[in-house]
Amino acid sequence: MKINDAIGWIALVIFSVVLQVVVLDQIKLSGYINPHLLPGVMAMCKLMFNRYFHLFFSFLVGLIIDVWNGTGGLYASALSMASFFPFQNVLGMSVLSDFKSIRSGSVEIYRFLIYLSIVYFSFFLWLYVLDNFGFRNFFTILSKVFYSSLVSIALVFLTDVILSDYTKSGKIR
């Protein structure tokens, strides 16, 4: 791991936290769909860091969002869960050994989208079930999970495409 790459990813995560709490948390599409950029960024940099550092970093980032929003540990729990489970194994071990980060340019696009779908679906399911203290209104929770995941995946994919020009210059890999 190069220090410049790690600093670039940490700066991107900090920018994503600021963007999440200042802009994206204020957007409620159709009253309940809330786009999230941060779980996708954390999922893309999962191979960059040590497993335990990534878990601690995810918890810390989630705790910062919880303190800002006053949500009492929801985001820390959901981001830690997304960091703990090895969702990257969906991509295949041969893909993982070649790359430092999981990006649309480094793996096939369909694998990248499947990976993001699994991460976001589990993140939002965990978040909304804990928020509702159970599976009351199961179909409402499921629709919130589906639509929030769809909007967030589109946001992450668009961000990854925009950042691809920046990363081709060697700043973030």
Among all chains, which residue has been given the structure tokens 């399911």? 125
**Domains of the chain, start order:** 3-168 (1.10.1760)
Report how far apart, in Å, the C-alpha atoms of 131 and of each of 44, 156, 173 are: 25, 23, 35
pLDDT exceeds 60 at position 94: no
Q: CB of 116 within 8 A of CB of 43?
A: yes
3-state class of 29 per DSSP? strand
pLDDT digit string, tens, across residues 24-77? 878 877 767 888 889 988 888 887 788 899 899 999 999 999 999 888 899 999
Alpha helices by DSSP H, the chain: 3-22, 38-44, 51-69, 74-84, 93-98, 109-132, 138-168
pTM, entire model: 0.83
